[in-house]
Amino acid sequence: MTPLGDLLLRRIAAGGPISVAEYMADCLLHPEHGYYTAREPFGAQGDFTTAPEISQLFGEMAGLWLAQAWIDRGRPAPFCLAELGPGRGTLMADIWRVARAVPGFREAARILLVEASPKLRRLQAAALADAAPRWADRAEDLPDLPLFLVANEFFDALPIRQFVRDPGGWRERQVGAQDGRLAFGLGPAAPIAALDRRLDDTAPGEVVEICPALPAIAGEVARRIRAHGGAALFVDYGGWHSRGDTLQAVRRHGRADPLDDPGEADLTAHVDFEALARAAEGCAVSALVPQGVFLERLGITERAQALARGLSGARLDSHVAAHRRLTHPGEMGTVFKTLGIASAGSVPLPGLHPWP
Ligand code: SAH
């Protein structure tokens, strides 16, 4: 058992089982043993790779998306260029580089990174040394400025609660202890008001998930966009609705048991984009568009071909593979989805058609 596992077993022995959300929160962000606080998760040496780490193409498309959205909204200056959960800072660094091509954008931008992990903040500072970023702990600390924001694989890292439908209501899935090891169990059945409408589309025995932090964070972003103008792009894996148990652990690029090695594996859950769209009420919300379709609409293939002209041999092969990985339906192209929000009544967002 990991040091965090021992700590959790002691806490459970003293206070009883904890919710999946409490378990996930400690595994990811425990100040000493949390996965994001203590480890270097990304890249070939780490546990998983994200789109910006696969190729500069992803950040370039995101940068052009933000710049076009900014131009379409009258080039407000100054404005806040923000990212939620920037990881190693690669995405924002690519955005910053490509934005050099857009007159006035960099001069008007004030970069704000919402990041909980001090360790990752240091990596972000190094990646963005020429961009003078600032940091915030929470979305509530975003400034009162027009807001142009991106978040890639951020919401999937937020803790979720899981409920199993039961004839007598909903039973919360919990993490307890059995024979000296962490084990899943179920709490008592109770009605849950937030899940009332899920009685229509689930049957007893089915699992639904709620991400308690998501409405607050997405709502905060939407509130600023309503008040000051702007746009936000959310990219994540998930779908339109929470359905089933999607809690997943990844370690060294492979699936692991979520209760093995707490603090040493990445834990994620599918993002419920309907909950994101609901939290953005009052904004214009786009349809949910698969990542591959979105990137194609923005011209990723033309850009990939232009970059390919300067490459040969193994570098060309890996460039072609990266383009395929980001866009192909069998890879990240359909599992990952994009959703955009903007101030109501404004020009449609690049690459995203309006929500019907
Ligand atoms: N966007 C990056 C990294 C995704 S991993 C990429 O695409 O490569 C998730 C990121 O969100 C990490 O930077 C993690 O430290 C951060 N994070 C997770 N939970 C957070 C929270 N509650 N508040 C702020 N940042 C958080």
Is the minimum distance from the CB of 114 to ligand 1 under 6 angstroms? yes
CA distance 222 to 211: 17
Q: Is 259 helix (H, G, I), strand (E, B) or coil?
A: coil
Per-residue pLDDT tens over the stretch 30-76: 999 999 998 878 877 778 899 999 999 999 999 999 999 999 999 99
Q: Which atom of ligand 1 is nearest to the CA of 36?
A: 15
Dmax (CA) for the chain in angstroms is 64
Is the minimum distance from the CB of 263 to ligand 1 under 6 angstroms? no
Pocket test for ligand 1, best of 54, 91, 117 (most atoms within 8 A of CB): 117
> What is the pLDDT, as a whole number, of residue 348?
92
Task: State how far the alpha carbon of 352 is from the alpha carbons of 69, 229, 289, 297, in Å.
Answer: 11, 18, 7, 8
Is the minimum distance from the CB of 89 to ligand 1 under 6 angstroms? no
CA of 53 to the centre of ligand 1 (A): 14
CA of 59 to the centre of ligand 1 (A): 16
CA distance 159 to 26: 9
Q: Which atom of ligand 1 is nearest to the CA of 156?
A: 9
Q: Is the pLDDT of residue 332 over 90?
A: yes
Name the residue with the closest Cα to ligand 1, atom 10.
85
Where helices occur in the chain by DSSP H, the ranges are 3-15, 20-29, 35-38, 51-54, 56-72, 90-98, 105-108, 118-127, 213-228, 273-279, 291-298, 300-308, 313-327, 334-335
Domain map (residue ranges) of the chain: 37-156+227-238+270-340
- Could you tell me which of 61, 52, 51, 68 has the C-alpha nearest to residue 342? 68
What's domain 37-156+227-238+270-340's architecture?
3-Layer(aba) Sandwich (3.40)
Q: By mean pLDDT, which of 39-53, 102-116, 166-180, 332-346 is the weakest?
A: 39-53
The predicted model scores a pTM of: 0.96
pLDDT > 90 in the chain, percent: 90
CA of 88 to the centre of ligand 1 (A): 9
> What is the pLDDT, as a whole number, of residue 243?
85
Pocket test for ligand 1, best of 92, 112, 115, 236 (most atoms within 8 A of CB): 115
Q: Is the pLDDT of residue 302 over 90?
A: yes
Q: Which of 192-201, 247-256, 300-309 shows the highest mean pLDDT?
A: 300-309
Q: How many CB atoms lie within 10 A of CB 354?
A: 12
Per-residue pLDDT tens over the stretch 141-159: 999 999 999 999 999 999 9
Strand 248-251 relative to strand 254-256, pairing: antiparallel
- Contact status, residue 92 vs residue 160, Cβ threshold 8 Å: no
> What is the pLDDT, as a whole number, of residue 355?
81
Is the minimum distance from the CB of 17 to ligand 1 under 6 angstroms? no
The Cα angle at residue 95 between residues 94 and 100, in degrees rounded to 5: 100
> What is the pLDDT, as a whole number, of residue 38?
82
Q: Which atom of ligand 1 is nearest to the CA of 153?
A: 4
DSSP state of 334: H
Q: Is 149 helix (H, G, I), strand (E, B) or coil?
A: strand
Q: Is the pLDDT of residue 26 over 90?
A: yes
Q: Which atom of ligand 1 is nearest to the CA of 42?
A: 8
Strand 134-136 relative to strand 336-343, pairing: unpaired
- Could you tell me which of 154, 79, 72 has the C-alpha nearest to residue 116? 154
Name the residue with the closest Cα to ligand 1, atom 3.
87
> What is the pLDDT, as a whole number, of residue 127?
97
Per-residue pLDDT tens over the stretch 182-225: 999 999 999 999 899 899 999 999 999 999 999 999 999 999 99
Per-residue pLDDT tens over the stretch 111-134: 999 999 999 999 999 999 999 999
